[in-house]
Amino acid sequence: MITQNFGSFDGVKLHYREVNRAEGGEAGVPLVLLHPSPKNSAMYLPLMAQFPASQHVIALDTPGYGLSEPLAAPVESIADYLPVLRSFFQRVAGSRFKLYGSATGAQLAIGYANSHPGDVVHLLLDNAAHFEDAERDAILAKYFIDIKPVADGSHLARLWQMCRQSLQYFPWYETNDAHRFRTTEPSAAEVQAAINEYLLAGPQYAEAYKAAFQYERVEHYQSLRVPTTLFRWRGSLLLKEIDQLLCFALPPCIRVVDVAPAMSDRYEAIVAAAGG
């Protein structure tokens, strides 16, 4: 059974989902899941259902996303999230846990593992890449549109266009074949679902997103000293940037796992790695 819970951690009210099917028994080392921006823990409901009864799984809405409150002060870097994350991890997962992150969640997980390596039994990284400075600068300048409400509702039309293109291209504003990762047109329902995630996060949706892009540099991977699984998922919209990362020398604690494009293959790989 997956439960929804709230708690105050380092002064921030957070929402999280949790499944512990081994009630009254040995649940093993907990696994915490961190999501991409601007999504939230709801995206992990299908994945959480794949784990065996022995696995205690926790999926957090990171501050400012889903039903979690934002940090009190404006975010400047990944480091700003670490105190509240540590408070949450220590109280909900315990002193030692496995940590999975995708995209923004991966950068938060790397930042945490580099700051508190003794807490992390196993780090699992998905949609985790490296961007060259010119790529990063272009993304930071163009990727994040203003979605503050305006009287004529034009912010919603801009958001619809961005979400539709983001389901086909990365980055979304480069609408050419070189940046296309999907050949089919997204349905209206898919676009609406993406819009809902942005609206739930609100005008501050870009805070963790920007911090993650700024942090997504090879040197942070090279600093890792905890056992790490890095997924090279062939269905990722960041596959080119993942392969850029893999061109660099990485520390021996990082194991790369190649994963087929299907979502079922991705889930299978995550569950297998988390159990190892």
Residue 264's pLDDT band (cuts 50, 70, 90): very high
Q: Quick check: 253 pLDDT over 90? A: yes
Residue 129: predicted pLDDT? 97
Strands 12-19 and 31-34: unpaired
pLDDT tens for residues 125-178?
A: 999 999 999 999 999 999 999 999 999 999 999 999 999 999 999 999 999 999
Partners of 57 in the beta sheet?
Answer: 19, 31
Residue 180's pLDDT band (cuts 50, 70, 90): very high
- 103 burial (CB, 10 Å; 0-12 / 13-18 / 19+) is buried
Residue 20: predicted pLDDT? 76
Prior bond to 171 cis, omega within 30?
yes
Within 11-58, where are the H helices? 45-48
pLDDT tens for residues 74-86?
A: 999 999 999 999 9
The model carries a pTM of 0.96
How far apart are the C-alpha atoms of 83 and 98, rounded to whole Å? 18
How far apart are the C-alpha atoms of 45 and 31, rounded to whole Å? 14
- 168 burial (CB, 10 Å; 0-12 / 13-18 / 19+) is middle
Q: Give the number of other CB atoms < 10 A from CB of residue 254.
A: 18
Partners of 254 in the beta sheet?
Answer: 228
Strands 228-233 and 12-19: unpaired
DSSP state of 14: E
pLDDT tens for residues 8-51?
A: 999 999 999 999 755 544 568 999 999 999 999 999 999 999 99
pLDDT tens for residues 200-244?
A: 999 999 999 999 999 999 999 999 999 999 999 999 999 999 999
How far apart are the C-alpha atoms of 65 and 199, rounded to whole Å? 10
Residue 213: predicted pLDDT? 96
Terminal alpha carbon distance of the chain: 23
How far apart are the C-alpha atoms of 210 and 215, rounded to whole Å? 9
Residue 53's pLDDT band (cuts 50, 70, 90): confident
- 274 burial (CB, 10 Å; 0-12 / 13-18 / 19+) is buried
Prior bond to 63 cis, omega within 30?
no
Kindly calculate the radius of gyration of the chain based on its CA atoms and give it in whole angstroms: 18
Q: According to the 3-state scheme, what is the secondary structure of 155-193?
A: HHHHHHHHHHHHCCECCCCCCCHHHECCCCCCCHHHHHH
Q: What residues contact residue 187 under an 8 Å CB cut-off, 6+ apart?
A: none
pLDDT tens for residues 84-138?
A: 999 999 999 999 999 999 999 999 999 999 999 999 999 999 999 999 999 999 9
Q: Quick check: 1 pLDDT over 90? A: no
